[in-house]
Amino acid sequence: MDGIGPMLYEGKAKKIFAAGRSDQVVQYFKDDATAFNAEKRGTIVNKGVVNNKVSERLFKLLEERGVLTHFLERLSDREMLTKKVTIVPVEVVVRNVVAGSLAKRLGLQVGDAIEPAIVEFYYKNDALGDPLVNDDHLRLMNVATPAVLRELRELAHRVNTVLKPFFAERKMQLVDFKLEFGVYHNKLILADEISPDTCRLWDMATGESMDKDRFRKDMGKIEEAYQEVLKRVCG
């Protein structure tokens, strides 16, 4: 791994390494998969390669549409050079269709359209299990100011406006997804990854899940689904 320095951080699905410049890092995408706050663990073969390439394609698309991201360059199958950001500890979830925790929490019908899309904030904290929070909670904890929360919500909607039709053109329904943002030179930019780990994607022809739900719910054909997403997004 030429030009790559020591490991700075290891997360559940990625490792972060120092890069040649102090304001850049290398994201290494692992095949490790976890669910339910890491209670369930496993491997999805070549997931790291898929998530790296899918994220590259989507970050480039978003940059073309004026959304600032941390993406700089894909270095290899599993490595991506990015700007080094300070992550805002908020998971920003956008929902176009009822599924997952929303269906469970509110008893809504899975598959019902959500129009216009909604945005939710989760406090990124493993010890607490990433609780759903509102603006007041985040302000109380000094995690984000009202102005930053307004910007996060606005950026999340903009990302959705770009990604929803992109996936639809490839016969995938973008049900929901999770974004993370970071601060880079005093600017809020999109960070982390956008992949079948962080999106719900339903095949428009069959309604079948093509994302990490196949792992979460032991639905089988997990690797096949990830490869199919790669093919449709990058092929």
> Where on the chain is the footprint of ligand TMP (CB under 6 A)?
93, 99-102, 130, 176-178, 198-200
Task: For the CB of residue 10, give the shortest distance to ligand TMP in the complex, in Å.
Answer: 16
Q: What is the DSSP string of 6-43?
A: -EEEE-SSEEEEE-SSTTEEEEEE-SEEEETTTTEEEE
Task: For the CB of residue 158, give the shortest distance to ligand TMP in the complex, in Å.
Answer: 18
Residue 133 forms beta bridges with which residues? 121
Task: For the CB of residue 162, give the shortest distance to ligand TMP in the complex, in Å.
Answer: 16
| Residue of 94, 80, 62, 96 lying closest to 26 (CA atoms) | 80
Rounded to an integer, what is the distance from CA 1 to the centroid of its chain?
25
Q: Give the span between the Cα atoms of 145 and 152, in whole angstroms.
A: 11
Task: For the CB of residue 114, give the shortest distance to ligand TMP in the complex, in Å.
Answer: 12
Shorter beta-carbon distance to ligand TMP: residue 126 or 136:
126
Compute how many other C-beta atoms are within 10 angstroms of the C-beta atom of residue 36: 9
Shorter beta-carbon distance to ligand TMP: residue 33 or 144:
33
Shorter beta-carbon distance to ligand TMP: residue 44 or 93:
93
Shorter beta-carbon distance to ligand TMP: residue 75 or 209:
209
Shorter beta-carbon distance to ligand TMP: residue 19 or 80:
80
Task: For the CB of residue 87, give the shortest distance to ligand TMP in the complex, in Å.
Answer: 14
> Closest CB to ligand TMP belongs to which residue?
100
User: Both tokens of residue 220?
Assistant: 């089988």
Compute how many other C-beta atoms are within 10 angstroms of the C-beta atom of residue 61: 17
